[in-house]
Amino acid sequence: MSERILMKGNEAIAEAAVRGGCRYFFGYPITPQNEIPEYMAKRLPEVGGAFIQAESEVAAINMVYGAAGAGGRAMTSSSSPGISLKQEGISYIAGAELPCVIVNMVRSGPGLGGIQPSQGDYFQSVKGGGHGDYRMLVYGPSSIQEAVNIIYKAFDKADEYRIPVMILGDGVLGQMMEPVALPDAIDVSALPKKEWATDGTKSGAERRIINSLYIEADVLEGMNNKFKALYEKLKAETAHETYLADDAEIILTAFGITARIAKSAVDLLREQCVKAGLIRPITLYPFPSDVYAKYAAKKNVKKFVTLELNLGQMVEDVRLAVNGKKPVEFYGRSGGNIMTPEEVVREILKRI
């Protein structure tokens, strides 16, 4: 760990990715994530890696497919409309069991929407997004330091499970500056060799095929079941944070930047003698359902209020986890608007 330095979110994430072993980046300009490809264009050649500004988001994710399939630690980043374009490629990457890292600095939508922060891509991140039955490991960091720590380890996680890993950020996380401590760079030459990678060194019975086509229904069902088992195993990565939740009567729940607002709101509510607490999922898939189930079963908990920068997406997973045991309410802002802690306090006071 180095000393703490002040960095913009997008640049800190890019540097942490390089230190985590990323050597191949394929991107396309879109606000508010442009600093990531710009940083990579300068930085990757310094470490013997490669950066390409692709002709489209579609091409960029397929370049990731090729590089990841050849054994490289590959990454792309984009923002919502660009991530929509990548969904076909992400589905292929999941189907072909390739490891990669994708950063989505979410902007508001639908359509061209706006360039201001949003959490409107929750559904397309945690429910698959592209066609077919697949999942990604999805993180929703709430600070630049947390995003740095997550992306630094994301390539290891992607390799371990052979799965696409997504960092679901937002315009705030990408654009704001915070003090961060950057981890030391790993030695990429010491990484284990990927025997499954098509690096052009094998033929005959030993040759490798990267593919997601299984024309026989039984064979494909076998693959689908293999993925199901993988996603079960992935539950070991589930992560969350709780804050003043143990004696809470009202539990706020939020991810990413909204969770920091919620945390401030919890403090303000506690000052007014309202027993509020917070559950913050760090992994959005797998979702920390057990934590919600645990708190839902507690006598002191009267209700949950989910806070999001959208019209209500994660709240559906919260409801599934709470399973009718306690009321689950929702408050959200959209269009690029961000709620204030005071606004959250007003909303909560109306509900008790």
Partner 1 sequence: MQQVFKKSSLLTDTPFHYCPGCTHGIAHRLTAEAIEELGGNQGVIGIAPVGCAVFAYNYFNCDIQQAAHGRAPAVATGIRRVCPDKIIFVYQGDGDLASIGMAETVHAAARGENITVIFINNAIYGMTGGQMAPTTLIGQKSTTSPAGRTAELQGSPIRVSEMLATLDGAAYIARVSLHDLKSVIAAKKAIKKAFDYQVAKKGFSMVEVLSTCPTNWGMSSEASMDYVKNEMTKVYPLGTFKEIGL
Q: Which stretch binds partner 1 (CB under 8 A): 59-67, 136-144, 180-188, 269-277?
A: 59-67
* Residue of the chain from 65, 139, 155, 330 that contacts partner 1 (CB under 8 A): 65
Range 28-57, binding partner 1 (CB under 8 A): 50, 52, 54-56
Kindly state the smallest distance separating residue 225's Cβ from partner 1, in Å: 21
Number of residues near partner 1 (by CB under 8 A): 40
Distance in Å, CB of 196 to partner 1, minimum: 10
* Nearest residue (CB) to partner 1, 87 versus 238: 87
Smallest distance from partner 1 to CB 321, Å: 35
Nearest to 138 by CA among 114, 122, 120: 122
Please choose, from the candidates 108, 100, 169, 171, the residue with its C-alpha nearest in 3D space to the C-alpha of residue 137.
Answer: 100
Q: Does 71 bind partner 1 (CB under 8 A)?
A: yes
Among positions 280-309, residues that touch partner 1 (CB under 8 A) are none
What is the spatial distance between Cα 53 and Cα 56, in angstroms, rounded to a whole number? Answer: 8
Residues 91-130 that bind partner 1 (CB under 8 A): 92, 96
Q: Does 246 bind partner 1 (CB under 8 A)?
A: no
Site track 159-198 with partner 1 (rule: CB under 8 A), x = hit: ---------------------------------------x
Cis amide linkage into residue 341, ω under 30° from 0: no
Q: What is the DSSP string of 211-252?
A: -----SHHHHHHHHHHHHHHHHHGGGG--EEEES-TT-SEEE
Rounded to the nearest whole angstrom, what is the least distance from the CB of residue 36 to partner 1 in the complex? 18
Stretch of residues binding partner 1 (CB under 8 A), selected from 58-66, 153-161, 184-192, 226-234: 58-66
d(CA 126, CA 287): 9
Biggest CA-to-CA distance, the chain: 72
- Chain position carrying tokens 């004696």: 247
Strands lying side by side in the sheet with 240-243:
240-243, 276-281, 250-253, 303-308, 328-332
Contact region with partner 1 (CB under 8 A), list: 33-41, 147-155, 182-190, 199-207: 199-207
CB of residue 75 to partner 1, shortest distance in Å: 11
In the list 74, 173, 259, 296, the residue contacting partner 1 (rule: CB under 8 A) is: 74
Whole-number Å distance between alpha carbons of 102 and 100:
7
DSSP state for residue 207 in the 8-state scheme: -
Given the complex with partner 1, which of 60 and 278 has the nearer CB atom? 60
17 binds partner 1 (CB under 8 A): no
Give the DSSP letter string of 72-96: --EEEEE-HHHHHHHHHHHHHHHHT
- Is 64 a residue that touches partner 1 (CB under 8 A)? yes
Q: Which is closer to partner 1, CB of 74 or CB of 296? A: 74
Query: Which residue, among 53, 75, 79, has the nearest Cα to 65 in the 3D structure?
Result: 75
Contact 144, 80 (CB under 8 A): no
User: Interacting stretch for partner 1, rule CB under 8 A, among 144-152, 156-164, 204-212, 244-252?
Assistant: 204-212
Q: How far apart are the first and last CA of the chain?
A: 45
Secondary structure class of 341 (helix, strand, coil):
helix
Which residue number, 63 or 259, has a Cβ lying nearer to partner 1? 63
Residue 251: CA count within 13 A, CB half-sphere: 34
Contacting residues toward partner 1, per CB under 8 A: 24, 26, 50, 52, 54-56, 58-60, 62-72, 74, 88-89, 92, 96, 198-204, 207-213
